[in-house]
Amino acid sequence: MRKYYVNGWRLGFTLFFGCFLLSELSYCLAKEKKKIEHKDARGVMIVSLNVPLRATLGNKIYVEIIVGNERTTKVTTILTVTCLTTDQIIGREAETLDGLSSHKIVYSWDTKELKEDRYVILAELEDVPGEMHLDDNVRQADIFLVP
């Protein structure tokens, strides 16, 4: 009887520690997967949007945008630059960025048909699959057009 009693305890301890090790292993694997997913949560961003604060009506204005890729892999996204005041599209194009790189884009905006006023320029990047931080995909700037 004692033999079965000792073997029962051994079996119990073996099962207990086996379950403990398996649960720790699955926890570690889930934690590692979460780290990998967090790394991929980054994406593209608009580093800067530069326009002059004040410009003369009728002249061409240069809108300069610097877009960046926070991932280590190459990504393609669409950049759209619009004037919110007039709903005019200043520029739109697909941008392919290498991993951990940035690219400068300059658009020319014709102001011949506009009047003296404050205009809001909006630059927006489409998010890439898996991107979690979308607040850096949009930038806006104001410009005052004077005669």
**Are residues 36 and 65 part of one domain?**
no
Asked if 66 and 107 touch (Cβ cutoff 8 Å), the reply is no
Residue 70 — φ and ψ, nearest 5°? -90, -5
The tens digit of pLDDT for each residue in 4-36 reads 555 666 766 676 655 555 566 556 555 665 555
74 shares its domain with 129: yes
Same domain assignment for residues 29 and 49:
no
> What pLDDT is recorded for position 9?
66
Burial category of 99 from C-beta neighbours within 10 Å (exposed 0-12, middle 13-18, buried 19 and up): exposed
Q: Is 58 left (phi over 0), alpha (psi -120 to 50) or beta?
A: left
Residue 7 burial class via C-beta count within 10 angstroms: exposed 0-12, middle 13-18, buried 19 and up: exposed
Assigned token pair, 143: 């410009």
CB 124 within 8 A of CB 136: no
Q: What is the pTM of this model?
A: 0.72
66, 34: one domain: no
Residue 102's CATH number: 2.60.40.10
pLDDT (tens digit, 9 = 90+) per residue, 47-74? 999 999 999 999 999 999 999 999 999 9
Domain limits for position 19: 1-40
pLDDT bucket at 2, cuts 50 / 70 / 90: low
| Number of domains forming the structure of the chain | 2
